[in-house]
Amino acid sequence: MVRVLIVDDSAFMRNALTTMLVSDPEITVAGTARDGIEAIEKVKSVRPDIVTMDVEMPRMDGLTALRHIMEECPVPVVMVSSLTMDGAKVTLDALDIGAVDFIPKNLSDLSLNIVNIREILREKIKQLSKKGVARRRARPLGKAAPPPPPPARATGERRIGIVSIGTSTGGPKALQDIVPLLPKEFPVPVVIAQHMPANFTGPFAERLNQMSGVAVKEGENGELLRPGVVYIAPGRGHMRVLRQKGIETVIRISELKEDFIYRPSVDALMLSVAECFPGRALGVILTGMGNDGLKGLTVMKKTGCRIFAQDEDSCVVYGMPKAVVDAGLADKVMPIDEIAGEIVNAA
């Protein structure tokens, strides 16, 4: 039984989250709190398996409470965040402090129906509570030292033309352990699909850009792909790559939901990479729930592309990588701290 502590100053939100969570027989709400001070006390007395934490609360806000909890009584914390630009920045700060993931506060505004919202929330709570709190060194803002460069190769000898990365739950932290370690003159473009709301991907790209030697930006429709640039799929749509005039490769953004559960979709990105770079792409699948990316990476593998997967121990949720590993697609399975170096070597 997963024991949850719900922290929110809104009685409506406490009741809404409680109703959705206790509809699962494997979840119980062990307690509720109205602000950060109560949250710290309840974490110590109730000893929950996982906490949902509102950001803006009286007396003590969610970020301050999160810092105290991580220092005094570490437990997995999921932030309940507004889907605004300011909410995105605060949520990214919370992930840096130690929160494992976030859920949207304005649940009714999501494009998914309430049944899917409830199922995703319950599954997320159960998966994240199992992992516990990972002790990891926070990576400060600022340029990180890249790994040693691989032996120089002529352009004609280059084995890949693009790196494509897919991730979901736990992805922001994982990407901060990879992208800042890529050298400034990385020889190929990098495209990333991270499951995030529309207002989150821009601030996240800006944060990665501050930390990295490579340029990091949110992908734009019609933009020409350039070596040494990392493109984050915007949360408002699906990002694909498209070969133009047989030579140039550009980004295409579709804001239609299409037949995908998540937006941006990892599958949509990987399928387009397989078509544009058959046998000449590297696919990387990182921590995340479900199996988004499996279809796209299956096609990439059939064209001769190489596939890397994050290992179970370093994943926040071993779902997306597990699906790829179990399907026999992964050429290498490795911990998060080895992936940047392997990407550099592969390029």
What are the tens digits of pLDDT across the range 159-218? 899 999 999 999 999 999 999 999 999 999 999 999 998 889 999 999 999 999 999 999
Residues 9, 87: one domain?
A: yes
Residue where the block lists tokens 């700060």: 93
Which of 131, 146, 163 represents a domain boundary (last residue)? Answer: 131
Residue 142 in this model has a pLDDT that exceeds 60: no
Q: Annotate 222-286 with DSSP letters as a single string.
A: TPBP-TTEEEEPPTTSEEEEEEETTTEEEEEEE-S-TT-SSSS-HHHHHHHHHHHSTTSEEEEE-
Same domain, 94 and 16: yes
In a domain, residue 289? The reply is yes
Active site residue 24: no
Q: Do residues 176 and 75 both lie within one domain?
A: no
Instruction: Note the pLDDT of residue 111.
Output: 45
Query: Residue 284 and residue 194: Cα distance in Å, rounded?
Result: 12
Characterize the bridge pairing of strands 77-81 and 50-54. Answer: parallel
> SS3 of 42, please?
helix
pLDDT (0 to 100) of residue 261: 77
R_g of the chain, CA atoms, integer Å? 20
Percent of the chain past pLDDT 70, that is, above it, reads 89
pTM, whole model, 2 decimals? 0.88
Predicted local distance difference test score (pLDDT) of residue 86? 78
Domain termination site, one of 99, 131, 163: 131
**Predicted confidence band of residue 136 (pLDDT cuts 50, 70, 90):** very low
Q: Is residue 140 part of a domain?
A: no
One domain, residues 105 and 223: no
Q: Is there a domain that residue 105 lies in?
A: yes
Residues 119, 172, single domain; the answer is: no
Q: For the chain, how many structural domains are there in total?
A: 2
- How much is the pLDDT for 258? 78
Mean pLDDT over each residue of the chain, to the nearest integer? 89
Q: Which residue shows structure tokens 């949250």?
A: 39
Please confirm, yes or no, whether 314 is among the known catalytic residues: no
Q: What is the CATH number of the domain that holds 275?
A: 3.40.50.180
Confidence of residue 137 (pLDDT cuts 50, 70, 90): very low
In the set 81, 129, 164, 168, the catalytic residue is 168
Quick one: average pLDDT of 222-237? 95
DSSP 96-111: HHT--EEEES-GGGSS
Task: Tell me if 139 is assigned to some domain.
Answer: no
156, pLDDT greater than 60: no
CATH of the domain at 108: 3.40.50.2300
- What confidence score (pLDDT) does residue 133 get? 67
- Residues with Cβ < 8 Å from 153, sequence gap 6 or more? none
- 322 lies in the same domain as 241: yes
pLDDT surpasses 80 at 342 = yes
Q: Is residue 138 part of a domain?
A: no
From 120, 7, 93, select the one nearest 58 (Cα to Cα).
Answer: 7
Residue 149 lies in a domain: no
Pair 270, 302 in one domain: yes
168/282 same-domain check:
yes
- The confidence band for 115, taking pLDDT boundaries of 50, 70 and 90, is low
- In this prediction, residues 250-277 reach a mean pLDDT of 90
Determine, yes or no, domain membership for 137. no
Residue 126 pLDDT greater than 50, yes or no: yes
Lowest mean pLDDT among 46-60, 253-267, 329-343: 253-267
Q: Is the pLDDT of residue 153 over 90?
A: no
Residue 157 pLDDT? 52
Same domain, 125 and 160: no
Instruction: Indicate whether 81 belongs to any domain.
Output: yes
Same domain, yes or no: 106 and 181: no
Which of the following is catalytic: 8, 267, 292, 311? 292
What is the residue range of 212's domain?
Answer: 155-346
68 included as an active-site residue = no
**Which region among 153-162, 170-179, 250-259, 279-288 has the lowest average model confidence (pLDDT)?**
153-162
What percentage of the chain carries pLDDT values higher than 90? 75
The answer on 326 and 220 residing in a single domain is: yes
Phi (first) and psi of residue 95, to 5 degrees: -65, -35
Residues 37 and 98 in one domain: yes
